Chains A and B, each alone.
Chain A
Amino acid sequence: MTDVQVPLTSRKDWQSDQEVRWCPGCGDYSILTAVQLLMPELGVNRENTVFVSGIGCAARFPYYMNTYGMHSIHGRAPAIATGLAVARPDLDVWVVGGDGDLLSIGGNHLIHALRRNVNLTILMFNNQIYGLTKGQFSPTSALGKVTKSSPMGSLDAPFNPLAVALGAGATFVARTHDMDRPHMQEMMRRAHDHKGAAFVEIFQNCNVFNDGQFETLTTRANRDDMLIPLENGKPVRFGKEKEKGVIISSDGAAHIVNVADVGEDAILIHDEARPEPGLAFMLAHLASSVNEPTPVGVFRAVQTIEYADANAKQLAAAQERSGAGDLSALLHSLPTWEV
């Protein structure tokens, strides 16, 4: 809902009085700062904003926002937020969770929230580890990852979060990382403005249990060569001189090439609004580990029917057809007789 009356706020207005309790140096701090600095720019009221989370380090997030919030139970935030967003389409509902919360115990709720296209902004902090339970492998940890619960290496093939979201029919899918505030904010802004379920994966450093997991990608020195920025309508290129790019070869797969070898015209032009998710899916699979160049940005953004909206329309249509509910008429709607 657009509200012309939204008063000007600053970061301070969006900070709660609660002491932040993440480990010093945790990537969660920079995400929190990004959100708190972004909120005043979104044109929304604090009282109409709700953060819902599950359990995990990331899930402490709502306590730190001066909005309405619920810190719920492990994995269930998407389901709870779905109920809230359907009941109250006037609210701005955000879901915050980690990779364990949203892809392991809550995987089912996440995919169903995405396919229903409920108006939720879902931020998934992916640190590829269980932090709050002190360091077990997570559903996004790499195969062979040695942790307390996998001393000889994890046997679990990891989820590719974006591919999961795209497979579930998500209408908005993006990726960013905790070392680049402007990019994070841009992804969050786009996700917030999207009408429907928006999924943002944020690479997040857990400096206690998985320190430096994304360093190959996110340090200033590595970014140019290892992060592939996706910009709508533009060729998918990266490298210090934009000398590398992505093409779709005749075998139907995406490949990284030197632009000089194939010519500029051969480079894939990114189109986030393509109705079919195939291209986004291919880009989501371009990197199979943090050691390969990895796309960031908006993979997919398509507009389609939003669930709460469709639900409200059914309610309005029913009232139009038969008037506002009449209890007495309902109680007499089966065959009756008089004594």
Chain B
Amino acid sequence: MTDVQARPGTSGNAEQVDHVVIRFAGDSGDGMQLTGERFTTASAVFGNDLATLPDFPAEIRAPTGTIFGVSAFQVQIADHDITNPGDAPSVLVCMNPAALASELDRLEPGGTIIVNSDEFDERNLTKAGYTENPLENDSLAGYKVILVAMTSLTKEAVKESGVKSRDAERSKNLFALGLVSWMYTRPLDTTLTWIKEKFGKNEMVMNANIMAFKAGHAYGETAELAGNRYSIKPAPQKPGVYTSINGNTALAWGLVAAGQLAKLPVFLGSYPITPASDILHELAKHKSFGIRTLQAEDEIAGIGAALGAAFGGHLAVTATSGPGVALKSETMSLAISLELPMVIVDIQRGGPSTGLPTKTEAADLMMAMYGRHGEAPLPIVASYSPSQCFDAAIEACRIALKYRTPVILLSDGYLANGSEPWLIPDPSTLPDISTTFATEPNHVNETTGEPEHWPYVRDPETLARSWALPGTPGLMHRIGGIEKEDGSGNISYTPENHSHMVDTRAAKVAGIAKDIPEVAVTGDVADADLLVLGWGSTWGAIVTAVDRRRAKGRKVAQAHLTHLNPFPANLGEVLKRYPKVLVPEMNTGHLAKLVRAEFLVDARTVSKVRGVPFTAAEIEVAIEAELERKL
């Protein structure tokens, strides 16, 4: 076969653009996630900056052709630094009528729709709720529509491979990928290499996929699609080796790294739950690092097993989503009382109850802060971008080990599945988070005169308790969830001691503020009229929105929290510096309530609970409204 690839960026007939937002949409069975991921990887390897937003239904295989079975994948690629998957897509790839019906209103006015026209038969149109074929009336008049008979073209193209008709049809997503790769002058080799690796074991299927991919590409070249070709230059990036990574993989790798940095074996006790299960899958693959994963009988057993492993000196982790955190709360309180290190990962999703399992939300902050019985404070770390989940995981483990405390690490469905290029760190630059265990008795028994180990003797600096591992001779001791005497750890119900222990546990967590970075302010630091304060995955949209408003002459500053308990030591001072504080959150105002209560500032919420992340435009509107609000 002849190589039809034009050199990216040098194609004579390609118009240069600085970014594009493409949304691939089709039936759950159409392979849209894979198509989007392959397009992303090819773009990443080419050197663009990018951010992705997978958006798929909760059903594993929803009835074919229905609106609720539509699976979509949005990606923004750019020749400059970007932080989010874009607001409205400018290109929409629709594999069937349901995809068109469900996704059309996201497309920007005048945008391009690439349609698999083969699927627009009466049956599929009815399933999508159309009474008329939208390709045949003027309902799409405001858009540029490219009709491609993808199913039949794919079948024709892969004939030679000898695959069955069903398999032939399944390759149509690679036809679509080939076509879009042509339109955006993507290099072909990344995808071809991937097809060969993925399907190498089944030569027939491999060939069919290669043929479909190349046919899609050739279709762009030979059909009358000239004038529809664009190139996007690589983005200037710091030199180094990059990989494209999603949040859950980055988080799992962060846990692997933390085990190495702490020189402790990692133990994950978990129960499968969307969207956190991939952390269990990923860690289960890395047994060569000495990582133990236990798929427990339920969420409670997941954290219980982790706590048992923590008692035994492992770096203990449990990973879940909101419903699982609710079930684990009693054991978290026990871990707080035992003062044992552990990380509870919460990949937030829409709630309450089952809510929106595959859609994103960040409404577990109050639960993370207060969702336990008794006075049970624990540190909270939140990641803000897919790749940053790596650092956030290490930081959560560092705090847990150093302060002997459970730590909640918040991520969300958007970060979990979204991906971005990541400059791979050199392991030697990562922090040492190793801890020490007691090896000698730290007390002499008053009655027997024998040396012994008191488990609640504290480091005066950190208030962390002495940690002796089972197996250490002479340091046998008992710990439990009943209130215990500080120092000895013996059961104590005295009023003074309980009050002291409540204060001590709180002081230990509060003291971590001395050990975390101050919150940084960017933008119009000196003279902003408004501070936009964020946490979690809203970061990408906030950065873009603030940049755009500042480019329009607005005075705006921005701060983003990675530590939510305790807050950075300078947060109160930062908040009071600006006349107005706006807090965009994918909940109804959790952080705003916290900072109001803590610092008496009139922080205002901009809320979004629609299962999808903020767009930058939405935050821009909120910034304008807040700037205009009379004080």
Contact = CB atoms under 8 A, between A and B. Distances in A.
Interface in B232-285: 234, 237-245, 249, 253, 256-257, 260, 265, 267, 269
Given A45-B473, A47-B475, A79-B305, A337 B44 contact: yes
A336 B265 contact: no
Interface stretch (B177-185, B479-487, B525-533, B615-623): B479-487
B433 to A, nearest CB: 13
B480 A72 contact: yes
Size category of the binding interface on chain A = 35 or more
B130 interface: no
Contact of B491 (A63, A66, A76): A63
B190 A71 contact: no
Nearest to A14: B476
Given A88-B312, A336-B242, A68 B288 contact: no
B270 to A, nearest CB: 11
B201 interface: no
A81 B194 CA distance: 44
A71 B478 contact: yes
B301 A337 contact: no
Interface stretch (B222-230, B291-299, B396-404, B577-585): B291-299
Nearest to B310: A83
A338 B240 contact: yes
B314 A87 contact: yes
A67 B309 contact: no
A108 interface: yes
Contacts of A62: 478, 480
A328 B289 CA distance: 12
Give the dominant DSSP class at B's interface.
mixed
Contact of B470 (A16, A88, A108, A109): A88
A48 B471 contact: yes
B490 interface: yes
A262 interface: no
B41 A335 contact: yes
Contacts of B470: 47-48, 50, 68, 84, 88, 91
Contact of B308 (A81, A321, A325): A81
A108 B477 CA distance: 28
Contacts of B86: none
B307 interface: yes
B286 A83 contact: no
A170 to B, nearest CB: 15
B286 A325 contact: yes
Interface in A55-97: 55, 62-63, 65-73, 76, 79-88, 90-91
Given A76-B304, A79-B300, A337-B241, A91 B331 contact: no
Interface in A270-323: 311, 314-315, 317-319, 321-323
Contact of A68 (B234, B309, B427, B477): B477
A46 interface: yes
B312 A91 contact: yes
A4 interface: no
Contacts of A76: 300-301, 304, 330-331, 334
A260 interface: no
A112 interface: yes
B309 A87 contact: yes
A80 B476 contact: no
A173 B314 CA distance: 31
A8 interface: no
Contacts of B298: 108
Contacts, number: 211
A46 B243 CA distance: 50
A66 B424 CA distance: 49
B313 interface: yes
B110 interface: no
A21 to B, nearest CB: 9
Interface in B388-429: 424-427
A267 to B, nearest CB: 40
B436 interface: no
B388 to A, nearest CB: 15
Contacts of A73: 330-331, 334, 481
B424 A336 contact: yes
A327 interface: yes
A136 to B, nearest CB: 20
Contact of B427 (A50, A91, A327): A327
A84 B427 contact: no
B265 A87 contact: yes
B592 interface: no
B294 A82 contact: yes
Contacts of B243: 331-332, 334-337
A315 B331 CA distance: 28
A68 B474 CA distance: 10
Contacts of B445: 17
Contacts of A221: none
Contacts of B334: 72-73, 76
B354 interface: no
B63 to A, nearest CB: 34
A180 B301 CA distance: 34
Interface of A: 16-18, 45-48, 50, 52, 55, 62-63, 65-73, 76, 79-88, 90-91, 108-109, 112, 311, 314-315, 317-319, 321-325, 327-328, 330-332, 334-339
Given A18-B491, A50-B311, 6 more contacts: A63-B480, A70-B308, A87-B265, A88-B471, A112-B301, A339-B240
Nearest 7 A-B pairs (CB), nearest first?
Answer: A83-B308, A71-B480, A325-B289, A83-B305, A79-B304, A84-B308, A318-B287
